[in-house]
Structure 1
């Protein structure tokens, strides 16, 4: 018999600690969950985000000239992705609950790869718009669905490290995209294709392979996990507070969810941080190109800010889980973002300082964004709330993607005063929403203590 874990598992809702059964080694069980759940989700989103933003690399090549893009057409091509992406977030999470993650997530990433491959063969602006639209439709379920799935497997004090590990897939994709694009830039003319076409062809093909593998490797919800025995499944569900695992999400659940202002604020917080995140993801190569670098040098210089951001994300995750608080780490990330944007708005003739500003923005936005997601999602209390809440947060927040795609226009180069000002305003919105959300959590905890005498239900 496996030795009993010495760790008492708190349900996180003010009730008595949940004792680990004598037949279960809790630490070994969590390690098994990590190995089964996180690697495949990480690979899926590396592929998805890489395919989503690789157009930013293609735009520094000959794509605008070859497709005869003029004016704001390239910005429209970026924006159209977000229309289906935003609209289908909540329906997608509801469908994932019905069809199970293994089927739904693998199907989404497979469809995404097929469309990306097709994007490598477009010859007109209209064709580019069509493929970008279907990319948004295919990816709508991946990011919120993955956060939803992670949230039902872990306790709060374990969650930030796991959320951040998954969040780092965005950073890996951004950094790898720059390195890959710098190599593909030299493939111009091979087999009669332009270098920007090879970006879409190679990455689309890789994503199709990921989709096929994902069907066999993605973990389902705990109640459907055949690789756990019955006792282990019950224990995982109880420790993660997933108390209504057998229920489907109904329209009544959706309406009840939006009656709580705290639930609504999660989307506003994410909107505020997403605008600078997408601005960084889409336009850092364009901004760096204005410093006089070649195409290859531009792609290579887009990597260090991402590496710095990933290091800070991992440090923040460790400290946040250890301290069991979230808001101070969000405040630190916001302070870095404001500092970086202030530099970029005021310094115009010192490349080293401007580049440092880009690094600060990347570090601040990505580190605070990871904590915001974990803070909000893990304060949601049931399967229904997490299905709706993750989709609402990602869906509404990604309206910021639309704003970001029109923030850095070619007419504003090289100083981009409008873009930096929009990012600064969005950061202020994020700050205000986070303060209000913290107040909402405090009020709910006070109400909970008054009614039951128990401790904190909602994290600060």
Structure 2
């Protein structure tokens, strides 16, 4: 291998790696022996996860509440057709998808507390204005602005969390954070049913108050976020200097060598574009993001077509999301414990295939409603598991931000497709829409399988020494100049990131 014997011992177990080269220890002058790990990690969790969950709850609530508003005659009051409504949904996704990669790079350059709070303030204002529009043009403009502003939050949070936690710590935290999306789905129906009682207040219809009140809450939380949200570990104000050093060392020991800081270079973006793993990740995200948007936007409509009125349909969506929330947290916890995220992905996508096959073939309302549960418990848990899997296998903070931005952006762009597949002419069973979602899930399953074999094959090649670099002063019979020539192991780590011969992918 391309490093000395002491260095090679690091890589026998990538999940519990301990950096042994004293000269490579981050801030070697700082003594961290007095740190209580469990106590510090609990404090980090309380500062990082709960507020991110609140932000994403509002993000998901504001994105999907148009589906609830539609049930309360929004389209009739705005004099728009079913086709125009679908176009309005579609307009959201183009800026939402295209702005995600640059937004993630901006987040890395700027402070998370500034960037994430700013975009949240913009979308909160846009959401509030949904309640005062009077025509189709106004709806189109605000949906575009909403997509532009919301674009940076989800990929930004995913990248931000990956900068705080080790690979076997991330799944549980992402599961807890992402469970807020299912809570938003549940609350969306409850809030819509409650807020609709304000119909006529201030001369505004009930559906308008759904947008106004939920938008104002977002604005208030955005302002608070400037003061609540912490920054990256090496600069976080709620940690003292010793604690910051300990966190960075812990991450670097888990093969996140860029945790101590990294200077932006355009080559990191190029690395993300040329890595096969990026394109497989885009397929995985496509496999769950397309179904996610279809599910969140149309669940009330689908349930209403099973024979339930608007309020009943909104309320019946609540237990569906509650079940999805439970499954999301359970799978996040399980992924961190069993450390085989590929097989979890394949199992979840597989159950989703079964759910949508039932929806396509069933003409029984009760069976179809059961299949909605099956679909929810497949789509939502797959997301945090995939997020943890992809982010843990990309080293280099800028490369990771670019890969996550591209994968999430591409996945969300497919929301432009799935927001148009549940057409009024296909009710009550919507077989065309269900069939398209089924195809998306199949793509996710195949790309997950492809990712597993790709990473397994690459790990095996590194074990055989086929990726060894030429390192000055290190004698290795497998080293080859085609893999690069470096003055030290540290230089190889820094330059190559997860392409370095010592890096091991998690399966």
TM-score (norm 2): 0.86
* Unpaired segments ≥5 residues, structure 2: 1-9, 21-30, 469-477, 479-500
Determine which of 172, 178, 193 is the counterpart of 1:182.
193
Structure 2 residue aligned with 1:430: 444
**Which piece of structure 1 moves more, 330-339 or 163-172?**
330-339
Q: Does 1:441 align with 2:442?
A: no
Structure 1 residue aligned with 2:227: 216
Structure 1 residue aligned with 2:51: 40
Q: Does 1:321 align with 2:336?
A: yes
Q: Select the structure of larger CA radius of gyration.
A: 2
Structure 1 residue aligned with 2:399: 385
Shift of 1:105: 0.6
Shift of 1:99: 1.5
Q: Matches of 1:383 and 1:433 in 2, distance apart?
A: 24
Residues 195 and 210 in structure 2, CA contact (< 8 A), matched pair in contact too: yes
Shift of 1:246: 2.9
Q: Matches of 1:446 and 1:51 in 2, distance apart?
A: 45
Structure 2 residue aligned with 1:306: 321
Shift of 1:13: 4.3
Q: CA 1:324/1:68 → structure 2, altered by over 3 Å: closer, same or farther?
A: same
Structure 1 residue aligned with 2:80: 69
Q: Matches of 2:428 and 2:273 in 1, distance apart?
A: 42
How do residues 51-450 of structure 1 correspond to structure 2 at under 5 angstroms? 51-241=62-252, 242-244=256-258, 245-348=260-363, 350-450=364-464
Q: Matches of 1:32 and 1:11 in 2, distance apart?
A: 30
Determine which of 24, 41, 50 is the counterpart of 2:35.
24
What do residues 345-394 of structure 1 show as CA deviations (whole Å, max 9, x unaligned)? 1111x221110011100101111222111111111112112211221111
Q: Matches of 1:76 and 1:413 in 2, distance apart?
A: 19
Shift of 1:10: 9.1
Shift of 1:335: 2.1
Shift of 1:263: 1.6
Residues 93 and 147 in structure 2, CA contact (< 8 A), matched pair in contact too: yes
Residues 271 and 399 in structure 2, CA contact (< 8 A), matched pair in contact too: no
Q: Which runs of 4+ in 1 moved over 3 A?
A: 9-16, 18-21, 452-456
Q: Matches of 1:156 and 1:11 in 2, distance apart?
A: 16
Q: CA 1:294/1:444 → structure 2, altered by over 3 Å: closer, same or farther?
A: same
Residues 12 and 155 in structure 1, CA contact (< 8 A), matched pair in contact too: no
Q: CA 1:139/1:373 → structure 2, altered by over 3 Å: closer, same or farther?
A: same
**Which piece of structure 1 moves more, 101-110 or 305-314?**
305-314
**Which piece of structure 1 moves more, 252-261 or 227-236?**
227-236
Residues 348 and 382 in structure 2, CA contact (< 8 A), matched pair in contact too: yes
Residues 148 and 390 in structure 1, CA contact (< 8 A), matched pair in contact too: yes
Q: Matches of 2:179 and 2:19 in 1, distance apart?
A: 31
Q: Matches of 2:380 and 2:503 in 1, distance apart?
A: 27
- State the Cα RMSD in Å: 2.0
3-state DSSP class of the match of 1:205? helix
Shift of 1:15: 8.5
Residues 11 and 240 in structure 1, CA contact (< 8 A), matched pair in contact too: no
Shift of 1:248: 4.2
Q: Matches of 2:251 and 2:135 in 1, distance apart?
A: 49
Q: CA 1:46/1:12 → structure 2, altered by over 3 Å: closer, same or farther?
A: farther
Q: CA 1:148/1:265 → structure 2, altered by over 3 Å: closer, same or farther?
A: same
Residues 380 and 386 in structure 1, CA contact (< 8 A), matched pair in contact too: yes
Structure 1 residue aligned with 2:23: none
**Which piece of structure 1 moves more, 235-244 or 60-69?**
235-244
Residues 36 and 219 in structure 1, CA contact (< 8 A), matched pair in contact too: yes
Q: Matches of 1:176 and 1:25 in 2, distance apart?
A: 38
Residues 171 and 309 in structure 1, CA contact (< 8 A), matched pair in contact too: yes
Q: CA 1:248/1:93 → structure 2, altered by over 3 Å: closer, same or farther?
A: farther
**Which piece of structure 1 moves more, 328-337 or 393-402?**
328-337
TM-score (norm 1): 0.94
Residues 85 and 140 in structure 1, CA contact (< 8 A), matched pair in contact too: yes
Q: Matches of 2:122 and 2:13 in 1, distance apart?
A: 38
What do residues 390-419 of structure 1 show as CA deviations (whole Å, max 9, x unaligned)? 211110111221111011111111111110
Q: Matches of 2:56 and 2:42 in 1, distance apart?
A: 21
Q: Matches of 1:375 and 1:53 in 2, distance apart?
A: 26
